[in-house]
Structure 1
Amino acid sequence: MAHTTEWPFDTDADQDDPLTQLRIAVTSSHPRWYYLVAFDKDSDTRPTDPEAAMLASYLEEYKAYWYNTSYLHKLAQRPLDVDGGANGVIFRKWGTDDWGYRRQSWTRGPLYVPQSPRIRARYPDEAPLGPMTLVQVMDHAHTIVDEVHKRWTEWKAAHPDVFPPEPTPKEA
C-alpha cells in the first residue's frame, strides 16, 4: 500500500494496522517511542471492535485529563499520540476476556499485570490476578491503593455506549 504521508515511527509501530486509525500504536512490549496507549503486536489475539473502542476511549480520557488544548494540538500533528514525559500503557490480549497491561517505564517485576496464562498456570500461588477483561485491566491501571480513581469511574459512566454499565448482583 502506498502512503501519502511520511510515517515517523519507522518499524516501531505498524502504520497499516486498523488500530492505528484510532491512534492506538501497534508495537512491541518495549517500543522505542513513548506512545500514550499501545497494543502489543505479539498478542495471541486481536481486540474485538468493542474492545478497540474501549482502547480509543481510554486514550481520549488520558488526553482529556492530562493535556491542555495547546498540547492536544501538538499531539494531533502526528498520526499517533506520543509524549516523552508520559508513562504510556501497553495492552496485551491473550484470549477472550484475558488482558494484561504494562507501563512503559516498568523495568522490574512482571512484564504484564496480570501475568500471562502460561505464568499463571505455572505459578498459581504467585500470580493471583487473572484472567481479567479489558475493563478490569483498565480499572486496575486506574487504581490507587484499593480504589479505582473517581475520574476514570466518571469517564466510563459518561460513555455507556463504550462501557456498558455492569449488571448489579442480585440479592440473595
Structure 2
Amino acid sequence: MTAETKAWPFGTDAIQDDPLTALRIPVVTSFNPGWRYIAAYIDVDTSEYSWGSTERPTDREAAMIASFIDEYKNYFFNAWYQGKLLDRPLDVDSGCNTTVFVKYAEDDWGYRRCSWIYGPTYVPASPRSPNRDGAPLSLEQVMDRSHTIGSGEPMQHWLDWKAAHPDIFTALEA
C-alpha cells in the first residue's frame, strides 16, 4: 500500500480496525454496503440492523473468505489489475456484485448479493425467519451455492480453486 492509500477511504461502510481487515476482508456495517467489495462479512455489533452475524468467523473460516476473494480476483482479473487493487486496503471494483456473508451460529452461514432486491435478505434465511427451510449450511457449502448457475452444481472454476487449496477447503462428506 502506498502513502496515498493509507487514509481509510471507506468511511463507516467498513470497519478499519477489525482484525479481518488485515486479511483484506471488509467487515461491513450494512447488509447492502455502499462500496462494491468483492466479498464482505457483516458483524451484528456494527450492523445498522439485526441482520449481522451473531458470532465471528473462526480462523479457518476467515481464511476461506479471504480465499473466496482471491479466487474471484484470479478468475476475473488479469495480473495488472490484481496489482491495481492493492492501491486500496480492501478489494473493490465497480463491476462487482458484492457477496455479503453472515454467520448465524457455528456452521450456520448465509450469503446475499447486493443486487438482490426481492426475496430473503440472505440465503439460506436466518434461523429466526419464518422463511427458513432446510438444515444449516457451513461456510463452504454457502460458497459452493454462491457459485451455482442453473444446474445447482458449483461451477468448475470454483471446484478447481478449492482442489488447488486443500489447506483451506476440505471435501464435504457425501
TM-score scaled by length of structure 2: 0.87
| 2:128 paired with 1:128 | no
Structure 1 gaps of 5+ residues are none
| 2:24 paired with 1:14 | no
- Displacement of 1:85: 1.2
| Conserved? CA contact 1:102–1:111, under 8 Å | yes
Equivalent residue for 2:50?
none
Superposed CA RMSD: 1.4
Question: Among the aligned pairs, what percent are the same residue?
Answer: 54
Larger Rg: 1
| Conserved? CA contact 1:114–1:130, under 8 Å | no
Equivalent residue for 1:39?
41
Which amino acid is the alignment partner of residue 144 of structure 1? I
- Displacement of 1:164: 2.0
Cα distance in 2 for residues equivalent to 1:11 and 1:88:
17
Which of 156, 160, 172 aligns to 1:166? It is 172
Equivalent residue for 2:157?
151
Which amino acid is the alignment partner of residue 133 of structure 2? P
Please give the residue correspondences for 1:1-172 in structure 2 after superposition, counting only pairs within 5 Å. Answer: 5-27=6-28, 28-42=30-44, 43-119=53-129, 122-123=130-131, 127-145=132-150, 146-167=152-173, 169=174
Residue deviations 1:34-78, cap 9 Å, x none? Answer: 110100122100000000000000000000000011211221100
Which amino acid is the alignment partner of residue 64 of structure 1? N
Cα distance in 2 for residues equivalent to 1:152 and 1:97:
20
Structure 2 gaps of 5+ residues are 45-52
Number of residue pairs matched?
160
Cα distance in 1 for residues equivalent to 2:70 and 2:144:
15
